[in-house]
């Protein structure tokens, strides 16, 4: 069974604006500053809770000057974060003071929700779904996937990946993993008349699902290959291992291991403070650092 969302990876344009929004405004911690392992000439930023726990991590490939993408079918179109139920009023004030346009609050599946966008137009939500005080983001709440039709994706989620159907609201169909709750929810939005998405700045590149071990990941790969999905080999991402495939509607799915985590190459207290490179790129450090734009963390 998939235990929930591991991380969501999106495209940004300006690296500094991206860093400032997710740390200073959204309140997440930069837990890793590294490079795109497939394109070491660009950054890869990881934001999450204080330790970078799976289920809290949103990551970005910031491509300076990147054109704006188009959100649409075949993509994760909204990334939602969980906050205390009592915090929605504070978030209305916070968004208003920052002069950020927002919709809501409105109620969806019994929870108050606010919708807004980051500097690149990536759609975000805060959802009042947690006990507690304060206004800090606790983890993911959910992700929304837009599809031309939802049935094949629903079958993958429920019959293969172990999600349970949890209800519908108009053309929105909710599925939950591992008993549900924050970071264990995915909504499939059936939008047959919408255009397909185009990946560029302000869009999600892929969504990753949690598996507890490399052994279970290999079982997932075997299962998916047996169902005629084209699945990548296991890829070492240093902080987790990954396999990738496209679900029936075209969204790029990843299944990522929980371990080893972000303290594998720097101590907890200094996560995100220096540029970390995979061992294969260390010999190129000077060249890589010279090519990357400077950022203040």
Q: Please compute the mean of the pLDDT values over residues 2-16 and round it to a whole number.
A: 97
At residue 297, does pLDDT exceed 90?
Answer: no
Q: Give the percent of the chain with pLDDT over 90.
A: 96
- Give the full edge-to-edge strand order of the sheet including 172-176: 102-108, 111-117, 123-130, 75-84, 139-147, 185-190, 172-176, 164-169
Please, which residues have CB within 8 angstroms of residue 272's CB and are 6 or more apart in sequence?
A: 29, 30, 31, 32, 33, 46, 297
Domains for the chain: give ranges and CATH numbers: 5-270 (3.10.180.10)
> Which of 125, 121, 109, 144 has the alpha carbon at shortest distance from 249?
144
At residue 133, does pLDDT exceed 90?
Answer: no
> Which of 52, 56, 13 has the alpha carbon at shortest distance from 32?
52
At residue 192, does pLDDT exceed 90?
Answer: yes
pTM: 0.96
pLDDT per position as a tens digit, 100-112: 999 999 999 999 9
pLDDT per position as a tens digit, 226-269: 999 999 999 999 999 999 999 999 999 999 999 999 999 999 99
């Amino acid at each position: 069974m998939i235990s929930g969302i591991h991380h969501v990876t999106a495209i940004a344009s300006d690296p500094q604006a991206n860093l400032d929004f997710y740390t200073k405004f959204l309140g997440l911690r930069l837990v890793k500053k590294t490079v795109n392992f497939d394109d070491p000439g660009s950054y890869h930023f990881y934001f999450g809770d204080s330790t970078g726990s799976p289920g809290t991590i949103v990551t970005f490939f910031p491509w300076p000057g990147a054109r704006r993408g188009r959100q649409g079918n075949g993509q994760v179109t909204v990334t939602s974060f969980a906050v205390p139920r009592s915090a929605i009023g504070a978030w209305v004030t916070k968004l208003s003071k920052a002069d950020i346009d927002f919709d809501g609050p409105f109620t969806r599946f019994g929870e108050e929700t606010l919708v807004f966008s980051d500097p690149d137009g990536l759609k975000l939500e805060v959802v009042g779904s947690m006990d507690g005080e304060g206004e800090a983001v606790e983890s993911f709440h959910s992700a929304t996937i837009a599809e031309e039709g939802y049935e094949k994706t629903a079958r993958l989620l429920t019959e293969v990946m172990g999600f349970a159907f949890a209800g519908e609201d108009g053309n929105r169909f909710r599925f939950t993993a591992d008993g549900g709750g924050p970071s264990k929810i995915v909504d499939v939005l059936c939008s047959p008349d919408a255009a397909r998405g185009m990946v560029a700045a302000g869009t999600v590149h892929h969504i990753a699902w949690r598996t507890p071990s490399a052994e279970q990941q290999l079982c997932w790969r075997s299962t998916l290959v047996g169902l005629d999905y084209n699945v990548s080999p296991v890829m070492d991402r240093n902080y987790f291992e990954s396999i990738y495939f496209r679900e029936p509607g075209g969204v790029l799915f990843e299944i990522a291991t929980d371990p080893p985590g972000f303290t594998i190459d720097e101590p907890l207290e200094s996560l995100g403070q220096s540029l970390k490179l995979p061992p294969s790129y260390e010999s190129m450090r000077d060249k890589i650092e010279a090519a990357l734009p400077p950022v203040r963390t």
